[in-house]
Amino acid sequence: MKTAFLYQPLKNKSVLCTACYHRCQISEGKTGICGVRQNISGKLELLVFGKAIAVNIDPIEKKPFYHFLPASKTFSIGTFGCNFRCLNCQNYDLSQILGYKGNTRYYSKIAWGKTLSPKQAVQAAQENGCESIAYTYNEPTIWTEYALLIMKRAKKEKLFNLWVSNGFMTKETQETILPYLDAINIDIKSFSDQFYRENCGAFLAPVLENCRNFKKKGVHLEITTLVIPTLSDNETMLKKLSQFIKRELGADIPWHVTAFSGKISWKLQHLPETPAKVLEKIRQIGLNSGLKYVYAGNILTPGLENTYCPKCSATVIERMGYNVENHLKKGFCPNCGYQILFR
């Protein structure tokens, strides 16, 4: 546990958390929506500081990043808690803190995870041949103070920093991490504010604005959208989303449309899996909107996760699951010389 710095003191020992757009006003003894930022005696304490509940060596494509260090390994770290309550969450045992989120009287019973100092995290990444560290599994915004110290040390050791995020952070958080952040994959879960309010407990506008800001600041950006049958599979909505990406972020931004599985979701186990033919159609919608790189994920249909040269259509990166064959020559198409990768 460590005192956070993304907060402001209020009257009567209350505090205003400034990590995410909820901007929770937290009275003494309580936590914010995330469940891991607690007001203790008028100070906001980060309960998961220095504690990791999920640590793995992953293919970078799993995050997913397809245009950043392809076929490399990334050291993945996650903690407890989340500022969203997505009904489809597959990491709900972490994000919703085993059902204890918000019930602070139970917090003394929670083992917040395994101790992992910033120095240990960076050393483990190096020892395992990773080129990057990914802040993932749950929303890194809620543990920015912990992530930041790892990011600073990683930057000194020439490791790249990657965030996998819902994009709901404040300007204060974004400015804090920007000097050390190399790439971010943001979930735009739907282009419907109603979807965000009903299924995530949040709202859409800050996510879109943060995508614009990261792009403007030169951070490598990729977008992911989970296609949930009956909830986020509306073709008109997805067409508008693809047009937003093209218009506001750029045709070169990779868009990952991924399949949903109710079996591993938090509260949508009654819904069917996303049919492969639906993802194929949505992928084509994105391409028809002018996006150069649209990928269909979580399915094993050959060709839908490959990278094709926008100029000559040559297959420059082949992917099947996490098996990757990179035919690029220093980021350029070997057939026509078109530049594909950003990093």
pLDDT truncated to tens, each residue of the chain (343 aa)? 899 999 999 999 999 999 999 999 999 999 999 999 999 999 999 999 999 999 999 999 999 999 999 999 999 999 999 999 999 999 999 999 988 887 888 887 888 999 999 999 999 999 999 999 999 999 999 999 999 999 999 999 999 999 999 999 999 999 999 999 999 999 999 999 999 999 999 999 999 999 999 999 999 999 999 999 999 999 999 999 999 999 999 999 999 999 999 999 999 999 999 999 999 999 999 999 999 999 999 998 999 999 999 999 999 999 998 999 999 999 999 999 999 988 8
* pTM (predicted TM-score): 0.97
Q: What is the pLDDT of residue 101?
A: 84
Q: What is the 3-state secondary structure (H, E, C) of the chain?
A: CEECCCEEECHHHCEEECCECCCCEECCCCECCCCCEEEECCEEEECCCCEECEEEEEEHHHCCCCCCCCCCEEEEEECCCCCCCCCCCCCHHHHCHHHCCCCHHHHHHCCCCEECCHHHHHHHHHHCCCCEEEECCCCHHHHHHHHHHHHHHHHHCCCEEEEEECCCECHHHHHHHHHHCCEEEEECCCCCHHHHHHHHCCCCHHHHHHHHHHHHCCCEEEEEEEECCCCCCCHHHHHHHHHHHHHHHCCCCCEEEEECCHHHCCCCCCCCCCCHHHHHHHHHHHHHCCCCCEEEECCCCCCCCCEECCCCCCEEEEEECCEEEECCECCECCCCCCECCCC
